[in-house]
Amino acid sequence: MDYLILSPVVLPIITGIVLLILPQKVFKNRKALLITAGISVVVSTCLTLFIISGAVGSSVGMFCIVDDIRIYFNIDDTGRLFAATAAVIFALTGFFSFGYMAHEKNEKRYYAYYLMTFGVLVGLCFSGNLVTMYMFYEFMTIVSVPLVLHNGSREAVMAGLKYLIYSFCGSYMALFGIYCLYRYTDTLDFVGHSTLRADELVQSGNVQLMLAASFLMILGFGVKAGMFPMHAWLCAAHPAAPAPASAFLSGIIVKGGILAVIRTVFYCIGSDFLRGTWVQTLWILLASITVIMGSALAYKERILKKRLAYSTISNLSYIMLGLAFLSESGFRGSLLHVVFHAVIKTALFMFAGSVIFVTGKVRVNDLAGLGKKMPMLFRAYTVAALGLTGIPPMSGFVSKWYIGLGGFSSDIPVFSRLGVVALIISALLTAGYLLPISVKGFLADENNGSMALHYKEPPRIMLVPVIVLAAATLVLGIFPVPLVEFINGIILDCFL
C-alpha cells in the first residue's frame, strides 16, 4: 500500500509522456487539449495534497543501484511543506496558462513538460535519500529545459543551453560531495539528523576535505537557487520562458535547489559540523553579495520579466542567507520565505504575463496609467509587491523578521550582521523597483496618449489566480502562526 505515495510522482510523468506521444490530431481543437490538461493538473494536485495530508512517514524502498544505495522514498515534514507549496502553485499556474498559452504555439508540448516537471518535483520532495534526490534533481533540470526553450527563438535556445550548462556544473560539484559523504556517513537516508561519523572523520584527518566537499555541495545545489557566482543562468532563462512557465520556474523549480541544500546541510552533514567554519562564513558572504546584487540589478533593469528574475535571485539568497546562519530563527525564516516567495513571485510573474497578454508591453515605463484600465490586476500586484518588500501585514515581513533575527543569533559575528544589513538594503531596493510600477500604474496620467482604449482586465481564468495569490500574501501575513508552528516541528527534527 505504501507504493501509493509514488502515485503523485508517476501519474503526472506518465500523463506528460502520453501527451507528448499522442499526435496533435487526437485533440480536435484547443478545447479538447485544455480539458485533458486541466483534468490532469487538477488530479495531480489533488492526489499530491491527499497523499501528503494522509501518508505521513510512510516510506517505500525500491531497487538498489549498487550495494546499499537504493532508490528510496520517504515523506517527512520538510518534503510535505515543499510539495504542498508546489502543488498549489502548480494548479494556479496551470489555470493561468490555459488563458495565457492561447497565443503561443505548441501548447501540447508545453503541458506535457509542465506535468512532467511537476511529477519530478514531487519526486524530489519525497526522496528519502541523497542519491534518489540527486537523481530527481537531474531529471528536474532536464524536463524543465523545454519550458525555457518553448518559443524556440534564438534567445530562448541560448538561455536554455546556459541553464543546462550551469545546472550540470552544479550537479557535478554536488556529486563530488556525495562521494565524500558516502564514505563518512552511516547512511545517506534522511533520518532527520546528521548522519556524519564526525569522530572517524577527525581521526582520518580529512576534516578540511569534508568541509570543501560540503562547500562544493552548497555551491553546486546553490546553482539552482541562483547563488553568486553561479546565478547567471537564472536571469537569462526565466524571462525567456512563457510567463506561466517563468512563474513556475521562479516560484517553485528554484526551490528544488533550496530543498537540496537543506537536505544536504541539515539532514546529512549536520549544522553542527559547519557551524563556525570557513564554509559558513563564505556561504553567508556569497549569499549577502547575491542579495544586494540581485536587487541592485533589478533596480536598474527596465524589462519587467527580467526585473522579476533578478528579484528572484535576490530573494532566493534571502533564503540561502537564513539557512547559512545555521540558527533556528534563520531556518524558520528561510522556510517561511520559501512558501511566501513562491506565492508572491508567482503572482508577480502572472502579473507580468497578464500585462503582456493584454497589451504586449514588456517595459516597465510603458505601464504608466495602465492601472486605471485593469484596476483589479494592479491592486493584486500592489499587494504582492508590498509583500515582497516585506511591509507588514503582508507575509514577506514575517519571513524577513525571522531571517533578520537569525542573523543576530549566528556564530559568525561580523558577516552575519552585515548579512542583515544587506537584507535591509535589499528591501529598500525592492521597494524601489516594485512600488513605482503600481504608483505610476494608478496615478500617472497617460501623457503620451498612446494608451489604447480597449485595454481591459485580462480574462477571468488569468485574473483569478493572481487575486488568489495576492489574497494569500495578505492572509499568510496576518495569520502566519499555523505555518510557523508547522515549521517549528521541522526545526525540532533538524536542530537536536
Partner 1 sequence: MTFVVFYPFAAAVCYVLLRRDKNRRIWSNIMVCAGLVELIAAICLLPGAPSTKEAGLFIFTCGNYARILSIVTAFGWTVAALFSKEYMKDDINIARYDFFSLLTLGAASGVFLAGDLMTLFCFFEIMSFTSFMWVAHRQTRAALYASGTYLGISVAGGMSILMGLFIIYAGEGGNWIYAAAVCMIAGFGAKAGAFPVHAWLPNAYMEAPAPATALLSAVLSKTGIWGIWLLSQNDAYCYPGEFVLVIGVITMVYGGLRGVFSSSLKVTLAYSSMSQIGFILTGLGIMGIVNVPEKEDLYNMAVSGTFLHMINHSVIKLVLFLAAGIIFMNVGSYELNRVRGFGRKKPFLLVMFFLAAAGVGGIPLLNGYYSKTLLHESIALCGAYTGNQFIKASEYLFLFSGGLTAAYMIKLFMIVFVEKNEDNALQSEYESNKKYASVPTKSAVLLCALPIPLIGISAIFSDENIFSLSNLSSALISIIIGIIVYIAAVRLMMYNKKSMRYADIFPKWMDMEKYVYRAVFFKAVPFVLGIISRVLDSFTDMLVIILRKTLYREKALPYELPEGNRITHRIGHSMENIRRIYYTVTKKDYEPKYYEHELALKNTDFFESLRIIERSLSFGLLMFCIGLLLTMAYLLIKN
The contact set with partner 1 (CB under 8 A) reads: 228-232, 235, 289, 292-294, 296-297, 299-300, 386, 389, 391-393, 397, 400, 404-405, 407-409, 420-421, 424, 427-429, 431-432, 435-436, 439-440, 443-445, 478-481
Kindly tell me which of 228 and 351 has the beta carbon lying closer to partner 1. 228
Instruction: Give me the least distance between CB of 4 and partner 1, in Å please.
Output: 38
Cβ neighbours around 21 below 10 Å, total:
9
Kindly tell me which of 18 and 165 has the beta carbon lying closer to partner 1. 165
The rounded Cα 342 to chain-centroid distance in angstroms is 6
189 Cβ neighbours under 8 A, 6+ residues apart? 72, 74, 128, 129, 195
Instruction: Give me the least distance between CB of 389 and partner 1, in Å please.
Output: 7
Give the bridge partners for 196, in sequence order: 185
Instruction: Give me the least distance between CB of 446 and partner 1, in Å please.
Output: 12
Instruction: Give me the least distance between CB of 370 and partner 1, in Å please.
Output: 15
Residue burial 327-346, b: 16+ Cβ < 10 Å; e: rest:
bbbbbbbbbbbbbbbbbbbb
Measured N-to-C along each axis, helices 328-359 and 304-324 cross at an angle, to the nearest 10 degrees, of 170
Instruction: Give me the least distance between CB of 476 and partner 1, in Å please.
Output: 13
Kindly tell me which of 38 and 432 has the beta carbon lying closer to partner 1. 432
Contact by Cβ (8 Å): 245, 253: no
Instruction: Give me the least distance between CB of 357 and partner 1, in Å please.
Output: 27
Contact by Cβ (8 Å): 325, 335: no
Answer positive or negative: Cα dihedral of 102, 103, 107, 113: negative
For residue 392, give the DSSP letter: T
Burial class (CB in 10 A: 0-12, 13-18, 19+), 158: middle
3-state secondary structure of 63: strand
Kindly tell me which of 102 and 232 has the beta carbon lying closer to partner 1. 232
Q: How far is CA 482 from CA 232, 259, 370, 476, 487, in A?
A: 36, 21, 37, 9, 9
Instruction: Give me the least distance between CB of 449 and partner 1, in Å please.
Output: 16
3-state secondary structure of 75: coil
Kindly tell me which of 35 and 424 has the beta carbon lying closer to partner 1. 424
| Of 288, 234, 225, the residue nearest 426 (C-alpha) | 288
CA distance 149 to 162: 11
Which H helix or E strand runs over 6? none
Contact by Cβ (8 Å): 416, 325: yes
Kindly tell me which of 121 and 309 has the beta carbon lying closer to partner 1. 309
Kindly tell me which of 303 and 428 has the beta carbon lying closer to partner 1. 428
Kindly tell me which of 2 and 155 has the beta carbon lying closer to partner 1. 155
Instruction: Give me the least distance between CB of 302 and partner 1, in Å please.
Output: 12
For residue 363, give the DSSP letter: B
Kindly tell me which of 22 and 439 has the beta carbon lying closer to partner 1. 439
User: The C-alpha cell of 238 is what?
Assistant: 526565466
Instruction: Give me the least distance between CB of 408 and partner 1, in Å please.
Output: 3
